[in-house]
Amino acid sequence: MLPDHKKAALNRLKTVRGHIDAVIAMVDGERYCPDIMKQVSALQGSLEGVNRVLLENHVETCVMHAVKDGRTTEIVDELLETIRYTPAITGPTKETTL
């Protein structure tokens, strides 16, 4: 993993870890459900940010190496599969919308 991407991913994940502890405390303290849901939504956004960093790293490292090695078809298929896990890029699907 590229050093800048590793640092960004770890920083985001550490922030998420602290945020999860806060949300757990909210649930334990029986806070108002919409307030908790808002915080869970913020956590989901933060995790999507981690996925974007990881995807960027993957493209800049693994994908580039595979293309140079002539494994274009294989890596494009893998990349398309990987993008499915990044809703910020792919957008909501019919299954996830109300």
User: Domain-by-domain residue ranges, the chain?
Assistant: 3-91
pLDDT at residue 96, rounded to an integer:
46
CA distance 59 to 19: 28
The CATH number for 3-91, chosen from 3.50.50.60, 3.40.50.300, 1.20.58.1000, 3.20.20.70, is 1.20.58.1000
Considering the chain, what is the average pLDDT of its residues? 90
pLDDT tens, residue by residue, 38-49: 999 999 999 999
pLDDT for residue 93 is more than 60: no
pTM, two decimal places: 0.80
pLDDT for residue 98 is more than 50: no
Specify the 3-state DSSP secondary structure of 88. helix
pLDDT tens, residue by residue, 2-33: 999 999 999 999 999 999 999 999 999 999 99
